[in-house]
Structure 1
Amino acid sequence: MTAGLPPLGQKDTYKVGFAQAESNNPWRIAQTKSMQDEAAKLGYQLVYTDAQGSAAKQVSDVSSMIAQGVDVIFLSLREEKPLVPAIRAAKDADIPVVLFDRPVDPGLAKAGVDYLTFIGSDFAEAGRRLAAWLIKNAKGKTKIIELEGTTGSAPANDRKKGFADAVKAAGGFQIVASQSADFSRDKGRQVAKSLLQAHPDANVIYAHNDEMALGAIAHLEDAGRKPGKDVLVLSIDGGKEAVQAIVDGKINAIAECNPRFGPIAFQTLKNYAAGGKIQPWVKNIDKFYDSSNAAAEVAGTY
């Protein structure tokens, strides 16, 4: 057990809270399904809420779970600052909290003190993996446009830094423009259009998620350019539509951000209840897709 955190006894079944941030894209839907499927498989009661993109609603959702006396809360964080008091309120109510997707600034709340652990991907590593692919396969394409995720979010910050540091170290590459498209397909299309008009010689698009990459592809095709050939396209997430786009030759490589949290989340719960030591960061295992494996893997994607 982690010192100072609420204990969790070993039981045959648990009442588990899952506070989802939103359900407006395939990644979130797949994450929720994974949690629901695993809870059903184990015979646990899942108290599920959807904050619909509202931090205020998510605070209210967590308060409701505390009032219902859940054994543990899995919190897919919408925003850091508004949710920290809710995390502390759960601790005060002797309910351990596990954070999903996005870590909290340790200056606001600490794993092993205020909450049990963070479960999620290594966002910087995703950027590094795509940079490594590009460095190996660029064939002279070196002028990069970057479509960033939501400004200030941990995934956007880390995916940006991991990629930028790697291409800078390699030398010969230039990120000619970088702008947030808010993880959105429509904004991805709009931002790609404006940045490519400003930098018509750009020949690589690095998108922080599939939705923005697919939006960029739509613009490239509208403009008569061939995504995956005239302009290399790199993405993160690994949803079915995007992996199929690799098969179709329109995306070149994707670093997965695995949404299937259910197995690892409930195993962490069991380990904690059994008195096991829980690391402050439980890393999700992420695949990597390119032309070598996309056709074989696409059927198993979300």
Structure 2
Amino acid sequence: MLKFFHLSLLLLGTVFGPVARAESVLFLNPGTTQEAFWVSYSQFMQAAARDLGVDLQILYAQRQPELTVAQARVALQGPHRPDYLVFVNEQYIAPQILRLAEGSGVKLFMVNAVLTADQQALVGERPDRIGSLVPNDEEGGYLMMKELIRLHPAVARGEQIEVLAFSGLKITPSAQLRERGMQRALAEHPQVRLRQLVYSGWTQQRAYEQARQLLSRYPKVSLVWSANDEMAFGAMRAFAEAGKVPGKDVLFSAVNTSPEALQAVVDGRLSALVGGHFTLGGWALVELHDYDQGVDLARYGGRDRQLPLLQLIDRNQARQMLAMGSSLGYGVNFRKLSAKGRPATYRYPFFLQTLMH
């Protein structure tokens, strides 16, 4: 951890030195440099920053929330402060960052997970918090479960369909919301029974180990719901080792549009995939760049917005996204998305379809 912290100090000093420049943005990435989702998230942001002329710096916390807080402290209270700090309320650390930001002059923007209702009540309104963008996590969890059930072969009256669920971290808002969506779908289908939900910490290895145990306990499971792609692949490996064919004997779902997940949809091993929220950081930069030029974000869809990014990705879309994945920022012209000078009816087109042009 110390190594990453010292690197953080070094990078902050070099990037935000007192030179004439465009607006500077620091993104505190809660993930690791080995996680496909958070790496693709950063790459999309970097493409947006290049297009918009934004001075972007990204620091990874390696899944250590205390490191995010340490990075925020350096950024907000050190001598070389960014104009904007973008961060995630991962493991509910946002209030600590908001406290550190008081009087710093740095504007704050939250992505992916925002203040809970309780946190918001405690913190209140803050003039330095300029907006937020979050995905439709609850709906994502719901859509995955509904699709798994839809694709499952019909069972005789009185028979049950058995499900296992692999979630991320108990104290991560996105995991909780996706679980809630899954439970909503299950409530609509009483013949589908959730045998067990486990927390795999978003990792493939942990899900694999858990799935091996659960498979021997529940040999009749035919649906596996996972809150991300890594856990889906871990569970899939355990089932495959037990002689079950993914996509035939057992249907799997996942979240994220990693190349591996998209390829698994094309191959038929993943039956339900939702994704698109890796774009949130890039869309946030469009809004920050507009705000920096005097655009009132509230005029164009609201300061705090939930975007319907998590949607089912079919085989054709998966092929299309695989083909586009090698192009920087999926070929999006971020400058064209600006609301500057637009009529009040304009709404930022922050959708997965914007990538599918």
TM-score by length of 2: 0.75
On the 8 A contact 2:148/2:252 being kept in 1, the answer is: no
| Structure 1 position 26 matched with structure 2 position 24 | no
Counterpart-to-counterpart distance in 2, 1:256 and 1:167? 21
Shift, 1:236, TM fit: 1.2
Percent sequence identity is 20
1:17 — aligned with what? 26
1:232 — aligned with what? 251
1:274 — aligned with what? 295
Matching residue's letter, 1:53: R
Shift, 1:38, TM fit: 1.5
| CA RMSD of superposed structures (Å) | 2.3
1:195 to 209, 214, 219: 214
| Structure 1 position 101 matched with structure 2 position 125 | no
Matching residue's letter, 2:23: Y
Counterpart-to-counterpart distance in 2, 1:103 and 1:144? 30
1:5 — aligned with what? none
On the 8 A contact 1:37/1:262 being kept in 2, the answer is: no
Q: Counterparts in 2 of 1:78-97, with a 5 A limit? A: 78-81=90-93, 83-97=94-108
Larger Rg: 2
On the 8 A contact 1:238/1:301 being kept in 2, the answer is: no
Q: Counterparts in 2 of 1:283-298, with a 5 A limit? A: 283=307, 285-291=309-315, 293-298=317-322
Shift, 1:257, TM fit: 4.3
2:138 — aligned with what? 124
Which secondary structure state, in structure 1, belongs to the residue aligned with residue 188 of structure 2? helix
Q: Counterparts in 2 of 1:177-256, with a 5 A limit? A: 177-256=196-275
1:140 — aligned with what? 154
Counterpart-to-counterpart distance in 2, 1:257 and 1:96? 26
Unaligned runs of 5+ in 2: 1-19, 156-160, 327-357
Closer/same/farther in 2, CA of residues 274 and 208 from structure 1, 3 Å limit = same
Which secondary structure state, in structure 2, belongs to the residue aligned with residue 158 of structure 1? helix
| Structure 1 position 50 matched with structure 2 position 74 | no
Which secondary structure state, in structure 2, belongs to the residue aligned with residue 33 of structure 1? helix
Aligned pairs, how many? 291
Which secondary structure state, in structure 2, belongs to the residue aligned with residue 224 of structure 1? coil
On the 8 A contact 1:20/1:75 being kept in 2, the answer is: yes
Counterpart-to-counterpart distance in 1, 2:171 and 2:61? 20
On the 8 A contact 1:77/1:102 being kept in 2, the answer is: yes
Closer/same/farther in 2, CA of residues 16 and 293 from structure 1, 3 Å limit = closer
Q: Which moved more, 1:122-131 or 1:102-111?
A: 102-111
Closer/same/farther in 2, CA of residues 262 and 22 from structure 1, 3 Å limit = closer
| Structure 1 position 168 matched with structure 2 position 180 | no
2:334 — aligned with what? none
Closer/same/farther in 2, CA of residues 179 and 42 from structure 1, 3 Å limit = same
Unaligned runs of 5+ in 1: 1-10
Q: Which moved more, 1:109-118 or 1:223-232?
A: 109-118
Q: Which moved more, 1:206-215 or 1:145-154?
A: 145-154
1:3 — aligned with what? none
Closer/same/farther in 2, CA of residues 178 and 85 from structure 1, 3 Å limit = closer
Counterpart-to-counterpart distance in 1, 2:124 and 2:23? 21
On the 8 A contact 1:240/1:299 being kept in 2, the answer is: no
Shift, 1:112, TM fit: 8.1
Moved over 4 A (4+): none
Shift, 1:88, TM fit: 3.0
2:81 — aligned with what? 69
Shift, 1:135, TM fit: 3.3
Matching residue's letter, 2:141: G
Q: Which moved more, 1:279-288 or 1:264-273?
A: 279-288
On the 8 A contact 2:145/2:225 being kept in 1, the answer is: no
Counterpart-to-counterpart distance in 1, 2:319 and 2:173? 31
Shift, 1:37, TM fit: 2.0
